[in-house]
Amino acid sequence: MDRYAVIGNPIAHSKSPSIHAAFARQTGEVLEYAACLAPLDGFVASVLAFRSEGGRGMNVTVPFKLEAFALANRHSPRAKAAGAVNTLAFRGDEIFGDNTDGAGLVRDLTHNLGVGLRGQRVLLLGAGGAARGVILPLMAEGPAALTIANRGVDKARGLCEQFEPAAGETRLAAAALADLSGPGYDIIINATAASLANEAPAVPTEVYSNCALAYDMMYARGETAFMRAARAGGARRCADGLGMLVEQAAESFLLWRGIRPRTTEILAELRRQMSSG
């Protein structure tokens, strides 16, 4: 049986095994998908051991996405742009690295939430691995403006410089979180790790005023701290990142198996399971 796994540390919380098991049932693909806990200093050894035991591919999560990028000997253009890999495919001697996070986010926004990006003014909060991975796919949708804001403005500026050549008609700008002002944003995406500490990023409240969608890449049983802050600040609609999680998984499944699973029912079932505890 073809074997796949998600690798990370910690990993016990991962929803990927149940998502991929549901994809396999739905598509009739025969495969096994496990969770692999790698020691913090043992990522490469764990991946190579899995491959030598016949593994066909892996999803990579915190904190190994940069190491996965370094390990891959061929990269998709979107992984190159992100400088991070969340999907590995083993093909003979080749270790192919891809990054499906951005495609997952865009698909969740446009397909599941019905929010188009063309002509919109988008604010991306954060400049870490997740932010890097979504900039190119977001710009490919043709927003009028994309502002990248971070606590440390230098990282945001660095991303602007890196992605400027690919910006096309999108106006790219960098800002420090604390210097943001608003209203003026249609879509606000939280790619900071603040929600992991149950905090909202420290931005002036008026930034959220009248924005059409405030989207947190983090997901939780109820609303995240970011979603609560955005709603209180006047965001008209809020969403969490559970849909992005399912969509990035579907994109990995497509890479490995050549078939894209339907995500709607699986996302709804996951949401039901989460809300019932």
Residue 112 C-beta: closest distance to ligand NDP, Å:
12
d(CA 223, CA 219): 8
- Of 144 and 220, which has the nearer Cβ to ligand NDP? 220
d(CA 185, CA 173): 13
Pairing of strands 55-60, 31-37: unpaired
Catalytic residue chosen out of the listed positions 15, 65, 80, 155: 65
d(CA 233, CA 247): 28
Range 111-140, binding ligand NDP (CB under 6 A): 126-131
- Of 120 and 192, which has the nearer Cβ to ligand NDP? 192
- Of 128 and 142, which has the nearer Cβ to ligand NDP? 128
Range 185-214, binding ligand NDP (CB under 6 A): 191-197, 199, 201
Confirm or reject binding of residue 54 to ligand NDP (CB under 6 A): no
Q: Where are the alpha helices (DSSP H) in 53-205?
A: 65-71, 77-82, 101-107, 129-139, 153-163
Give the position of tokens 């977001």: 138
Range 219-238, binding ligand NDP (CB under 6 A): 219
Give the position of tokens 């590995």: 88
Contact (Cβ atoms closer than 8 angstroms) between residue 185 and residue 210: no
Residue 148 C-beta: closest distance to ligand NDP, Å:
9
Would residue 80 show up in a list of annotated catalytic residues for this protein? no
Residue 199 C-beta: closest distance to ligand NDP, Å:
5
- CA 54-66-82 angle, 5° bins: 110
Using CB under 6 A as the criterion, which residues of the chain lie in contact with ligand NDP when the complex forms? Answer: 101, 104, 126-131, 150-152, 155, 191-197, 199, 201, 217-219, 241, 244-245, 248
Active site amino acids = 65
